[in-house]
């Protein structure tokens, strides 16, 4: 977004002259704001318009070329709730794709508590490609898993698909998850934000980083104290992995926000043999954490079985992640 700010005494004729010149230069989106002075707001998504010469035109006080529209996402001074989990300074969230049974949830969450996590995942409303696949346990699953989580001193991260379920879910989940398929469901974004809980926002599988930021801005404007951005892989021509994990897209996002940016290697990889690599690559790239699917008996998992890490493999990942964290911290000290 770019702004042309007129002097308080600028005449309508001068403003018209500037508008005509902008149109001649091919600018289509011009909005006019009036107050004690007139401001033209210019949208330039492709970043092609150069307003450098305009500041010399009669009637113009100043030209601002780079105005951050997403003020909440970019806010340097925002007080961000502590999302530490598993490793100091990091947000490690793990747990099953779907909440299935008490025994399943208790076995997995007990292990997560032993690994020092504060946040665990578990889906109750599952957005499945086929209506014939397991759709999740819904309300009773949320109640049961949040009870077991709190028995272990853990807090639940759970996805909501329908805006009408946010109010109920917010009584049991500590963090509302918005899935990749819902990233631009604006009604859901607003409802999730209005819960005033932290919101974990997955990147849409076909969304640009800018679109992702716009979605987060909706959530923050609606009232969420923090958005945890989660890169989970995007659709590309490549099919050797389930999705293409865009680590540098996530790293670039960190240049635009102080909110946590984490990576979900499970839905990117699609199979467990690549999950730890993706998670460690994200941490090595300076991202703030990971979201990983874990199951005590992966072959029996009712969704995403192929990508679930068994408990012992998750523990091996955690011990490497802890040493990586230590070397990253000492690396930062050297720099
Ligand atoms: C999930 O976290 O289980 C999930 C459905 O993820 P995504 O929205 O990234 O596909
Ligand atoms: Mn899943």
CA 50 to ligand 1 centroid distance, Å: 41
Residue of 177, 179, 199, 215 with the most ligand 1 atoms within 8 Å of its CB, for mutation: 179
Q: Does 97 sit in the ligand 1 pocket, CB within 6 Å? A: yes
Q: Does 267 sit in the ligand 1 pocket, CB within 6 Å? A: yes
Of 207, 262, 244, nearest to 93 by C-alpha is 262
Token pair belonging to 142: 């949320």
Distance, in Å, from the CA atom of 215 to the CA atom of 250, rounded to the nearest integer, reads: 15
Question: What's the full length of the chain, in residues?
Answer: 335
Distance, in Å, from the CA atom of 150 to the CA atom of 6, rounded to the nearest integer, reads: 57
Distance, in Å, from the CA atom of 283 to the CA atom of 286, rounded to the nearest integer, reads: 5
Question: Distances in Å between the alpha carbon of 58 and those of 15, 41, 51, 73, 285?
Answer: 9, 18, 14, 35, 48
Token pair belonging to 159: 């996805």
Residue 29: the pLDDT is: 81
Q: Looking at ligand 1, which residue's alpha carbon is closest to its atom 1?
A: 97
CA 303 to ligand 2 centroid distance, Å: 6
Token pair belonging to 225: 């104290």
Question: Distances in Å between the alpha carbon of 120 and those of 61, 84, 293?
Answer: 53, 12, 10
First-to-final CA distance of the chain: 35
From the CA of 202, give the closest atom in ligand 1. 9
- Give 190's contacts (C-beta < 8 A, 6+ positions apart): 163, 218, 219, 222
Distance, in Å, from the CA atom of 152 to the CA atom of 257, rounded to the nearest integer, reads: 32
As a whole-number percent, the residues of the chain with pLDDT over 70 amount to: 99
CA dihedral 96, 98, 101, 102 (to 10 degrees): 50
Q: Does 127 sit in the ligand 1 pocket, CB within 6 Å? A: yes
Residue 249: the pLDDT is: 98
Q: Looking at ligand 1, which residue's alpha carbon is closest to its atom 6?
A: 179
Give me the helix-helix angle, 311-334 and 102-114, nearest 10°.
Answer: 30
From the CA of 233, give the closest atom in ligand 1. 9
CA 180 to ligand 1 centroid distance, Å: 6
Residue of 93, 94, 96, 97 with the most ligand 1 atoms within 8 Å of its CB, for mutation: 97
The closest ligand to the CA of 295 turns out to be: 2
Q: Looking at ligand 1, which residue's alpha carbon is closest to its atom 4?
A: 179
Question: Distances in Å between the alpha carbon of 207 and those of 202, 211, 212, 217, 282?
Answer: 10, 6, 6, 15, 19
Residue of 125, 126, 232 with the most ligand 1 atoms within 8 Å of its CB, for mutation: 232
Distance, in Å, from the CA atom of 117 to the CA atom of 91, rounded to the nearest integer, reads: 8
The closest ligand to the CA of 182 turns out to be: 1
Token pair belonging to 174: 């500590």
CA 280 to ligand 2 centroid distance, Å: 19
Low-confidence ranges of the chain (pLDDT < 70): 332-335
pTM exceeds 0.75, yes or no: yes
Residue of 126, 156, 180 with the most ligand 1 atoms within 8 Å of its CB, for mutation: 180
CA 126 to ligand 1 centroid distance, Å: 8
């Amino acid at each position: 977004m770019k702004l042309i700010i007129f002097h308080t005494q600028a005449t309508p004729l001068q403003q018209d002259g500037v508008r005509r010149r902008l149109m001649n230069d091919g600018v289509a989106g011009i909005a006019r704001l009036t107050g004690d002075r007139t401001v033209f707001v210019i949208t330039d998504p492709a970043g092609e318009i150069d307003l450098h010469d305009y500041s010399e035109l009669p009637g113009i006080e100043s030209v601002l070329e780079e105005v951050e529209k997403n003020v909440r996402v970019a806010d340097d001074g925002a007080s961000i709730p502590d999302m530490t989990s598993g490793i100091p300074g990091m947000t490690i969230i793990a747990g099953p794709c779907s909440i299935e049974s008490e025994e399943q949830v208790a076995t997995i969450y007990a292990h997560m508590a032993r690994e020092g996590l504060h946040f665990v995942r578990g889906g109750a409303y599952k957005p499945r490609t086929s209506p014939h696949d397991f759709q999740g346990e819904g309300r009773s699953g949320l109640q049961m898993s949040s009870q077991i989580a709190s028995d272990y001193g853990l807090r639940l991260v759970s996805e909501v698909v329908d805006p009408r379920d946010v109010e109920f879910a917010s009584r049991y989940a500590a963090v509302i998850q918005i899935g990749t398929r819902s990233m631009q469901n604006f009604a859901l974004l607003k409802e999730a934000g209005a819960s005033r809980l932290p919101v974990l926002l997955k990147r849409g599988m076909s969304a640009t980083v800018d679109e992702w930021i716009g979605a987060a801005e909706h959530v923050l404007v609606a009232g969420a104290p923090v958005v945890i951005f989660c890169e989970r892989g995007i659709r590309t021509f490549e099919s050797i992995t389930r999705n293409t994990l865009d680590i540098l897209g996530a790293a670039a996002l960190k240049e635009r926000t102080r909110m946590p940016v984490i990576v979900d290697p499970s839905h990117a990889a699609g199979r467990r043999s690549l999950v730890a690599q993706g998670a460690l690559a994200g941490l090595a790239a300076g991202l703030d954490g990971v979201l990983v699917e874990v199951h005590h008996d992966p072959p029996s998992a009712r969704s995403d079985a192929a990508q679930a890490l068994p408990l012992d493999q998750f523990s091996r990942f955690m011990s490497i992640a802890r040493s990586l964290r230590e070397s990253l911290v000492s690396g930062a000290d050297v720099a």
